[in-house]
Structure 1
Amino acid sequence: MGTDTTATPSATQPLSDLPADASPYTTERTVRTGDVDNHQRLRLDGIARYLQDIGTDNLAALDATGTDPLWIVRRTVIDVHRPARYPQHLRLRRWCDALSTRWANIRVRMDEIEPDGEGALIDTAGFWIDISPTSGAPTRISDPLFERMARHAHDTRLRWRAWLSPDADGTDHAAPFPLRVTDIDPFDHVNNATYWHGVEEHLAERSDLQDGPYRAVVEHLRPVVAGDELTIRTRHEDDALSLWFTVGDEVRAVARVARATVTKVPTPGKSGIATPSGDGSKHLRWDA
């Protein structure tokens, strides 16, 4: 997406690009009807499931399921440049662009294979934490996996910085979001895709945000578990939608969808003039 990027992602800057010498883990996926809306657009919860699956497959390909089997996501960023639609065939490329000893920022780029025109383009980033299966606490990434992940990382001292405010004051609507048995994962937590179900429920009212490029973010503060009575509080703005997932008065997760603006981002070089990135995407900026 250009060169004005940061290894520790910023709420208003493009995600880092794929290094030229990188060899990311690559797989393919066909968009199916179970993951699209009534306009055949690949929904955000469908994208979240793709990210979960490619992560599991990537660990298996690296023989790391025995040493680093359990990861939880603290933040997911989805930059929709051009939405994917049924029945497009997508290429997914996954690599680590920043990490520390216990967590990593993982990039996944989804683009259409043999597009008719520009084609779908979706960039994502996930802040993943390595969890000990015995203690349930963050644990050190195993040495072999760390070495593999760090090969193309811009930063090996990654720190957590929240992007979204947990302050739910000033919301304009609140409604129960009943949980289903199918929303619960093997650890009795609500699975990642369920939060995106909630985002999609309210994003359906905002076709203006879906018409152009947009960024969607979910940050997890505390788990939602089986039996919790979940409420979604929302605030609508001209160019954004904010959501707070609450249990009682406690905020468990925060989400935001914001329209992107096209900007000229200088690239280093003699001319100093912005140029398109190699995949044809425009330079974008998001409002915080």
Structure 2
Amino acid sequence: MNPDLTLAPQPDRGSVFVTSRPVRTGDIDVDKQVRLDAVARYLQDIGNDNIVAVDAIDSHPLWIVRRTVVDVVRPAVWPEQLTLTRWCSGFSTRWANMRVRFDGSNGALLETEGFWINISATSGMPTRMSDDFMKPLEETTDEHRLKWKRVLAENAPDADLPDVLDTEFPLRRADIDPFDHVNNAVYWQAVEEVAAARTDLLSVPHRALIEYLSPVVAGDDITLRSRVDDSAVTVWFLAGGQLRAVARVSAL
């Protein structure tokens, strides 16, 4: 069953940011389809480009993502040119849901949404967005009191259950970002590894959803606890037995 999370449609008014990029060979799998970790990098890049375009790179330079939803309606396949359209679908004073739609020159369609938190460059903590920054966000949504709520609320199952598998996921130096956290795209690499057991699921329209609950940092020993069943692939990221993130891939 898909988590109950409906993505808001693109508005016909307000501040919408549009850019484009080609699918490159470093972002594709053996079937030439764009991988989930590549989608995550694209979302980071367009977010940064959007901040630059509204002249907010000095005032709002740092953001962390709490949740990412990727609905792969029709996969992007190399070679293909992608048009990326980004807008706000809900916000509060410290965070915002940002929708990004991917339209491909060969028919690709991906619908995504990210829950992004504004981080202070001095304290490293969530901080209030300026009034000037929030004003364009108001134009594309009526949701101005966005609250965080977990969608993937299931905790990690016991390791000794017959349908559960534990796999070590060693971290590399290149996985760490300026916050000393594992970059969010790296988690998707782990999801890709586990989801490879359900290639049939990835060949139909599907939803990939991840929620980052607390940071994975350099030096953490990560265990992927996974369950692959008839309806979904679920991955729990554990560090020292503590749940740090959870992801699920299921048919749309």
Which TM bucket (shorter chain)? over 0.9
The equivalent of 1:181 in structure 2 is: 173
Q: Which residue of 1 aligns with 2:240?
A: 248
Match for 1:35: what amino acid?
D
Residue 180 of structure 2 aligns to a residue in which SS?
A: coil
- Structure 1 partner of 2:151: 163
Counterpart pick for 1:121 among 74, 99, 109? 109
* Deviation for aligned residue 1:23: 4.8
| Alignment match, 1:273 | none
Give the match for residue 226 of structure 2: 234
Match of 1:285 in 2: none
Give distance in 2, aligned partners of 1:11 and 1:175: 25
What is the distance in 1 between the residues matched to 2:185 and 2:125?
22
Equivalent runs, 1:139-218 vs 2, <5 Å? 139-170=127-158, 172-218=164-210
Q: Are residues 1:75 and 2:63 paired?
A: no
Unmatched runs of 5 consecutive residues or more in structure 1: 1-9, 261-288
CA distance in 2, matches of 1:23, 1:74: 23
Task: Give the superposition deviation at 1:248.
Answer: 1.5
AA of the residue aligned to 2:123 = S
Q: Secondary structure at the match of 1:206?
A: helix
Amino acid at match of 1:123: E
**1:59-85 CA distance string (max 9 Å, x none):** 000011111111110000000000001
Pick from 204, 216, 220 the counterpart of residue 224 of structure 1.
Answer: 216
SS at match of 1:38: coil
1:58 aligns with 2:50: yes
Asked if structure 2 preserves the Cα contact closer than 8 Å seen for 1:16 and 1:97, the reply is yes
Which residue matches 2:90?
98
Q: Deviations over 1:100-131 (max 9, x none)?
A: 11110000000113x3xxx1000000000111
For the structure 1 residues 23 and 104, does the alpha-carbon distance in structure 2 shift closer, same or farther, using more than 3 Å as the test?
closer
Q: Is structure 2 residue 103 aligned with structure 1 residue 111? A: yes
- Give the unaligned 5+ runs of structure 2: none
1:12-91 equivalences in 2 (<5 Å): 12-91=4-83
Aligned-partner SS, 1:205: helix
What's the CA shift for 1:167? 1.1
Contact kept? 1:170, 1:235, Cα under 8 Å = no
Structure 1 ranges of 4+ moved more than 2 A? 10-14
Provide, for residues 209-249 of structure 1, a one-character-per-residue CA deviation record: whole Å limited to 9, x for no partner: 11211111110111001111111000112110110000111
CA contact (8 A) 2:15 2:139 kept: no
Q: Cα distance, 1:153 vs. partner?
A: 1.3
**1:12 to partner: Cα distance:** 2.5
Structure-1-length-normalised TM-score: 0.83
Aligned partners of 1:166 and 1:244 also within 8 Å: no
* 2:13 alignment partner AA: D
Secondary structure, in 3 states, of the residue corresponding to 2:197?
coil
CA contact (8 A) 2:4 2:151 kept: no
User: How many angstroms does 1:154 deviate by?
Assistant: 2.6
Which residue matches 1:276?
none
Identity of aligned residues (%): 52
Q: Distance in 2 between matches of 1:140 and 1:110?
A: 29
TM-superposed CA distance for 1:170, in Å, is: 4.4
Native 8 Å contact 1:166 1:251 kept in 2: no
- RMSD of the alignment, in Å? 1.3
- Equivalent-residue separation in structure 2 for 1:163 and 1:247 (angstroms): 21
Query: What secondary structure is seen at the aligned counterpart in 2 of 1:122?
Result: strand
What residue in structure 2 maps to residue 130 of structure 1? 118
